[in-house]
Structure formats: structure tokens, C-alpha cells
Structure 1
Amino acid sequence: MPLNVPSFEELLGSARDSAVHLEMRDAYAVENESSPFAAWRAGERLNPDDRASWWRPWLTLIQETVARGVVVRRARIVSEPVSEYIKYEHSGTFTNVAAGELVRWLPRRQASDLALPGNDFWLIDNRVIRWNHFTGSGESGGPEISEDPDAAKLCSTAFEAVWSRAIPHDQYEIR
């Protein structure tokens, strides 16, 4: 029986040392991004000088987590040429970086020989996993929480392998 899934506030609030996030899809269709993605497609871009307009309350949570000394890292494995959705993600990632997240990008061709879990995940302190399940069309299929030590080790090893090959956000050029 799966454990209850804590909110991101609870999950990141429990982090002592690290929170890592691996994203492996080329498109997501999650409800909370539909309007911002549509606006981006219509030509709107985030204003670097208008922090209040950025993705809140998420970025506030990241800032608070990092301020407590937790290292927050995100790695994205992407196909090239990138999808329109990845262009959208890339254009707004400067906000994640400004909030204190470290973000890297790995072209999918460079991940072919890596053992990766079957789903995106968050790994907190190398022991608590929040699996992010998605439908075939990219909608949320619901999260799941796990404290299985073997799965946590797989996630940690996979993330570190991706991270070591990935390109820092400020150096990754969209192709």
C-alpha cells in the first residue's frame, strides 16, 4: 500500500541536505502550466525584472529551501531538436536559477548508456522518492511516494550520472 503523498511544501520542508529532480519527458500537459504555456506560445515572455510575476508560490518555496542550506538540483533529459514545450521550459528556467536551483540539461543521445528509472522523480536526502507519473499525453497520472532503499539508490545513481554529463543551464543552447 503506497504511503500518503506529502505536499511539496512538506516534502521540501523535510529536506535536510538535498533535493534533486530528474525530468525525462519532452512535453508535459499539467494543468497548472496550460495558461502560461499558451501565453508563451502567443509571444509572452517572463520579465526578469518582475519577480512577482514568476511562478509563485513554487519559487518562494525553492528560495526558502535553499536558504535553509538544502542544495536543490534539477536535471532535464531532452531530445534534440527540442520540442516546443522544452523551448518554453528553457525560456523560463532563469527563474528557477534565480530562486537558487541548480539546473542542467542533457541531450537524450548522451543518456543512451545510462540506467534510468521509468519515471520522473524528486529524491529528498537520498532516501525519500516522489515519483511523478504521467499519462501518454503528458497529463499528471498522480504522484507516488516511496522510501524503498533500493529505488532510492537507483534514483541517486541515475541522477548523479545524468548530472555529471549534463550542461549547466547558462551554457545549454537550444537546438
Structure 2
Amino acid sequence: MPLNAQQLNTATFAELLAATERTAVHLEMRDLYSVGDEADDYAAFLSTGVPNLDPTRSFWPQWTPLVQEAVGRGVVMRRARIVSEPVTDYIRYEHAITPLNLQAGEQVRWLPRRHASDIPLPGNDFWLLDDRLVQFNHFTGTGDWADNGKERTTDPTVAALCATAFEKVWERAVPHDKYTL
């Protein structure tokens, strides 16, 4: 996935994932996200307690094919979530819709925050592609995308920090089907 500096900054995430050859890992560390493309489904979940598991709604029609294509090429996609317990309403929602991540081909695990205290973690959620390209995701305090919400780097030291952090979280985390709220 050799990218020049301009490509690194202008490529969409879909283009980066399409160029990924082996691994795509995602670490989420917030207890609340408030991004617009899931607002309606989250509000409905809050009022009914029932998740919308229709893969043709919300952001899923854009996400699912990206995952399926990558996994179909042999890319292993893993997502780990560090969460506070008791969990927030948002984490209950996220847990309830995770079967759609699994159906697309992702592996998902959950780590209670109290078990992450001794893991050196970067300050932001991130994607790490092929152990060399990091995309940090920046959010506001309320969980929406911050202005300039993505930051990318191929700095080997940063990639190594993210790889080590993710692997430590992954080995301690509970697989989705075994994590109960």
C-alpha cells in the first residue's frame, strides 16, 4: 500500500481499505459517539430498546460491502472496544447492532476499561492498516466528528504504539458473543 503524502491525505477510507493487504484493526475507546449517520437509529433504540438490524439502513449499505470485499481478499478485520461499566446507553446500542459487524466479516471484542489501566494507549480511536498506516479519528466531547476529524500517519513509531496497544487490548478482551452487558 505505498502512498505518497498527497494520497495519504486525500484518499477516502474506502480507498485505503481497498489497498489493504493483510490486516485492518480498529480500536474504539469512547463511551459515547454522536455521529449523524446513526442518530435516527440510536434515538429509536433509546425509545424502544430494540436495535435496527436491517443491513440496508443507516450507514450499513456503505460499510458492509467495504468489509465484505476486504475480508473476501483475505484481510483480517478486527474491532476492539474499551468500555466503562456499567455501560452507557450508547454502548448498549452499539452492542445490540454489532451482529451486523459480525455478519459483514469483522471480528469484535469488548474490554472493560478497568482491565485496560496498564496498557499504554494512544489518545484517540484509530484504524491501523497493514501495521503501517494509522488513521486517528477525532471526536468532540459530545461524540460528534471534530472539525478535521481524521489524522493519518505512516510514522513507524506511531504505528508500533497502535499495534502494541491493539494486540494487548485484543488478547484481554471478551469476544462479542461472550460479552454480556
Normalised-by-shorter TM-score class: over 0.9
**2:51–2:93: 8 Å Cα contact kept in structure 1?**
no
2:98 pairs with 1:93: yes
Number of the residue aligned with 2:151:
144
Segments of 5+ residues of structure 2 without an aligned counterpart are: none
Segments of 5+ residues of structure 1 without an aligned counterpart are: none
State the alpha-carbon separation in 2 of the partners of residues 41 and 5 from structure 1: 36
**1:21–1:75: 8 Å Cα contact kept in structure 2?**
yes
2:25 aligned counterpart, secondary structure: strand
**2:41–2:52: 8 Å Cα contact kept in structure 1?**
no
Matches within 5 A, 1:1-175: 3-43=8-48, 44-47=50-53, 50-53=54-57, 55-141=60-146, 142-174=149-181
RMSD over aligned CA atoms reads: 1.6
4+ residue runs of structure 1 moved beyond 6 angstroms? none
1:69 aligned counterpart, secondary structure: coil
- Kindly, what percent of the aligned residue pairs are identical? 55
State the alpha-carbon separation in 2 of the partners of residues 124 and 111 from structure 1: 22
TM-score normalised over the length of structure 2: 0.90
TM-score normalised over the length of structure 1: 0.93
Count of residues in Structure 1 that have an aligned counterpart in Structure 2: 172
Q: CA deviation at 1:5?
A: 4.5
Distance 1:35 1:144, change over 3 A: same
State the alpha-carbon separation in 1 of the partners of residues 10 and 71 from structure 2: 22
